[in-house]
Structure 1
């Protein structure tokens, strides 16, 4: 490893550039293979290999311009600089994403970083920027890969209950994979229990989807109280917290599965509330806008939770749940151990509801939110 680091750090070295391109290609191939073979006996070791590759690619890139066929491998001479500058200067985007600059150093990574950020902003703004990004990419000879359907090799597959192209990849002068949801990838995980209900199937798909999304998104945080109750924690820079969050997510899913097997409506409801909290506690900073792609995805868990509430109500239990939104002062009596941020949203308002408030018969179960400080 030490000699790989040394070579990558050498400026004006064509050999260093060749090694870097090879590492990017190897990283992309391994991630794609993981999506296709999630139960391969080498999966855990592969995670460690990918982590080593990631650290290697953090070494400062060599500055030499490269000619010839390098364009097909994303030359270090960026073709999407104008896209980067336009994106970073948009004041409306900064309201939802904060002021942190884009970190990507290659066109391929930049295309993915921008489109993943767009998953956190309101859908109309995201759609405007998807089209603008496509127009700017086409101006420099890059082509969006919409053709080929969900099995397109230019797409990184995330397992879920439906097929959906989240954003396209690029070919031509810039080669970059896109992102999609894939039923086939979910089936290959074999995680869905036999005869599982529609609601439990959704939770199983959330479990594997979030595990995969954490692998490709370095800006995710968690705010799960049972893991760490005092702050919002970045997963990328604190791997031990990432492990604990994933363990808690898996444990809550298995408890929900066992509760469904008992057919006890109250056990099912309590387990579902805990699992829903774990799903909504995977956040960005600032938290994603409620009507963004990410916000709508998480809301699918809340809609399923309402079905579980209906099952308990039909069984004769008095149940009320409430998703907490709006002005924080109006709902703080229904919460406990809330967190505050000084970015995103409107000062004094709830940024995201981590855990719903619940009243089951005569028992009150506090909710939990993240709110914007009023200062």
Structure 2
């Protein structure tokens, strides 16, 4: 057993029904006095209520999926004008991503308050989109200094968004099994993360207004993101980043659709990971376990339903092939990626990819 594992420095607070007080405590711990709040217009009233007791220097609500460069630049300028000394992001992955984009250049600490299962709050990965190209990177300044999880904030999240967001968290689990830097600690975290999501997401589907399902799902999403941050971005995320930036697709739904196809491609070439994933699903094999969960959740199935043009398959293949990690379990070719994207575009049932048998001597 030979590996190096790095645990990212971050404070995580689970505070059911107490997010406002927990945010105030984290601002005090940072010694911050003038916070800039980053939130989408749809979350503005919630953000106002959660930060009412703080000295808010500015509320910035220009939040756009995949963080276009020009949007990030305007947010950076907005943070500089009132001399904010901390950022509080309230919302999903797009709000967190914009806060990270500001933090990377301004050096301001971020307190993230997630209202989905995106997981971005637990990683040091940033992403910016220029035109149709999304670029990601890793920077310690992008890692939020603190996370405040309050399951009660997710009770009004539409079930469809909860499902898609939760499957994004499962995608973090899958990529963490065989990412470029995956190690045994990542795989242990991933197994527990999948257990939490396996229990939590069906409970959310059955009772969206309840807290217990959201608590388990947040717990799983956090562990998944921690493992992913250590393991690095695998094939699944490379595919989704290319598609999202190129066609401006909804982030969570894209992940939800692509995930079973990447899993089917890789599991036959990664038997240890396959066994761990199957065990987490309590299923004979990984692909059947994920399929059963997706059926219970009525998960998204086809990229064409979310704005991917059919000719986009050919356009995306070269960019994905260039970005794919060299250690992906299944050998990759443009033809294999084309077949995978075609199946995901159509919503076809994923077919496990079997390794070729050696030629007999």
TM-score normalised by L of structure 2: 0.31
Which structure has the bigger radius of gyration?
A: 1
Normalized per residue, the structure richer in helix is: 2
TM-score normalised by L of structure 1: 0.31
